[in-house]
Amino acid sequence: MRVLYFSDNGSDHNRRFLEKISSFGHGVWFLDLSGQEPRFSLPPGVQWAKPQRAFPRDAAPDTVEAFLPELHWWLKELRPEIVHAGPVQTCGYLAALSGFHPLVAMSWGSDLLVHAEGNAIWKRATEVALRGADGFVCDCDAVRAAGLRQASFPPSRIAQFPWGLQRDAFSPVGERPSDWRPEAGTVTFLCTRSWEPLYDMDVLLAAFAEAYGRNQDLRLLLMGDGSMRGQIRQFIEDRKLAGIVTIRGQIPPSDMPKWFRAADAYVSCARSDGTSISLLEAMATGLPVVVSDIPSNREWVTAGENGWLAKVGSCQEFADRLLSVASLSPEQTRGIGERNRQIVAQRADWDKNFPLLMSLYQAVLASPGQTCKSG
């Protein structure tokens, strides 16, 4: 089978999808709307379709329409049997405008949970993309429900599974960072989210500062980078939290298991999420978790049993939850860790879940051109 995998970024998420699709023996072309050469080595069986025009990830649907003539050229040149496209309002939208079938539209979470509720341009792009698709890929109930509000995909045309973990990639046992060790007696919270407004990094910092004021044994370890870097560094300087909050910047995916093992708990204040891969990584490592009280997180976290939920935007609630984790006994921590590891093993095994996408491919190939009715 020839697959055109059309996305707007060279993230590790895309690498993993490309690698897995090609492992089933399919020929795959990777067309990236950002125009940037992939940051990863292309897996065997995957070829890069280098675009002539490029657009940033935050480009509006009416802006990326300018890419449509080139997409038509690629479709004629590559003659794929399936187009797999997402996010919804950029790549999914363009693929639907092209009229190609069969088309599988894949949501990246925030495209349907946030952007679909934007202005008329974004709403129209959402409708066009999903109503022009033959199949739909999503990672959680919340995203599935958002998609079904736009198009009535039958169950056989939906592949829902978390963008899960390679078996045993994250676990409590294994190597830890050689250049960083937590201080004895401290409790380190790890956050690996991008430093962008969607992830409420300002709420996280304010909540941590509040909790630290009540328990000086707390520490915060920040991975990543983003547009809020100046604001984050200024907050740490103004509050004199250097050494208490540690910034490590961008970390290669292969090194992330070490850093999860170095932490005592995980925290994310995201305003919106599909199934968060970093949450699953933390759970697989056996960490207690503190996350936003949003539908997708409630699919994985039961308050007081395997983690804590806090109201979106509430510095006070997040601070209280951090202090609750810090007060856990070693026995309680071990119990939570074991429950989290079992949940991930049962529900988020990448190898076990991925055949759902291959089944969707077969379903849409069997009856191409049958676009879904409006929801």
Residue in 87, 101, 25, 97 with CA at minimum distance from that of residue 67: 97
Task: Quick: pLDDT tens for 162-213.
Answer: 987 888 889 999 999 999 999 999 999 999 999 999 999 999 999 999 999 9
Contacts of 101 (CB under 8 A, 6+ apart): 134, 368, 369, 370, 371
Q: What is the mean pLDDT of residues 139-166?
A: 93
Residue 249 has pLDDT above 90, yes or no: no
The span from the CA of 89 to the CA of 125, in Å, is 5
Q: What angle do CA 134, 11, 273 make, to 5 degrees?
A: 70
Measured CA to CA, the distance from residue 30 to residue 50 in angstroms comes to 8
Residue 370: per-residue pLDDT: 53
If one counts every other C-beta atom within 10 angstroms of the C-beta of residue 121, the result is 13
Mean pLDDT along residues 109-129 = 94
Distance between CA atoms of 354 and 17, rounded to whole angstroms? 9
Determine what percent of the chain is predicted with pLDDT higher than 70. Answer: 98
Residue 279: pLDDT band by 50, 70, 90 thresholds? very high
Instruction: Express each pLDDT in 64-87 by its tens digit.
Output: 999 999 999 999 999 999 999 999
User: How many residues does the structure list for the chain?
Assistant: 375
The larger pLDDT score, comparing residue 109 to residue 166, is at: 109
Mean pLDDT of 365-369: 79
Give the Cα separation of 95 and 254 in Å (integer): 33
Banded model confidence at residue 375, pLDDT cuts 50, 70, 90: very low
Model confidence pLDDT, tens digit, residues 280-329: 999 999 999 999 999 999 999 999 999 999 999 999 999 999 999 999 99
Spatial separation of the C-alpha atoms in residues 6 and 14, rounded to whole Å: 10
What stretch of H or E contains 123?
helix 120-131
Q: Which two three-digit tokens encode residue 34?
A: 């950002």
Instruction: Please give the structure tokens belonging to residue 210.
Output: 């509040």
Q: How far apart are CA 45 and CA 25, in angstroms?
A: 8
Q: Between the CA atoms of 274, 278, 280 and 284, what dihedral angle is there, to the nearest 10 degrees?
A: 180
67: DSSP letter: G
- Sign for the pseudo-dihedral over CA of 275, 145, 63, 65: positive
- pLDDT at residue 38, rounded to an integer: 86
Strand partners, 48: 30
pLDDT of residue 40: 86
Instruction: Flag whether pLDDT at 143 surpasses 70.
Output: yes
Q: What single DSSP character describes residue 151?
A: B
Q: Are 105 and 92 in contact (CB under 8 A)?
A: yes
Q: Which residues contact 168 (CB under 8 A, 6 or more apart)?
A: none
Full DSSP string of 97-115: HHT-SSEEEE--SHHHHTG
Question: Where on the phi/psi map is residue 80: left (φ > 0), alpha (ψ -120 to 50), or beta?
Answer: beta
Provide the pLDDT confidence category of residue 369 given band limits of 50, 70 and 90. low
337: closest CA among 291, 263, 303, 286? 286
Instruction: Write b or e for each residue in 198-232: b if 16 or more Cβ atoms lie within 10 A of its Cβ, otherwise e.
Output: ebbbbbbbbbbbbbbeeeeebbbbbbbebebeeeb
CA 40 to chain centre: 17
Lookup: tokens for 62? 């009416």
Rounded Cα distance between 57 and 236, Å, is: 29
Going across the sheet that includes 245-249, the strands are 245-249, 218-223, 187-191, 265-268, 289-292, 308-310
What integer best gives the mean pLDDT of the chain?
Answer: 94
6-38: per-residue pLDDT in tens?
Answer: 999 998 899 999 999 999 999 999 999 999 888
Q: Go through the domains of the chain in sequence order and give each one's CATH number.
A: 2-161+354-366 (3.40.50.2000), 187-347 (3.40.50.2000)
- Helix, strand, coil percentages, rounded to 5, for the chain: 45, 15, 40
Residue 98 predicted with pLDDT over 50: yes
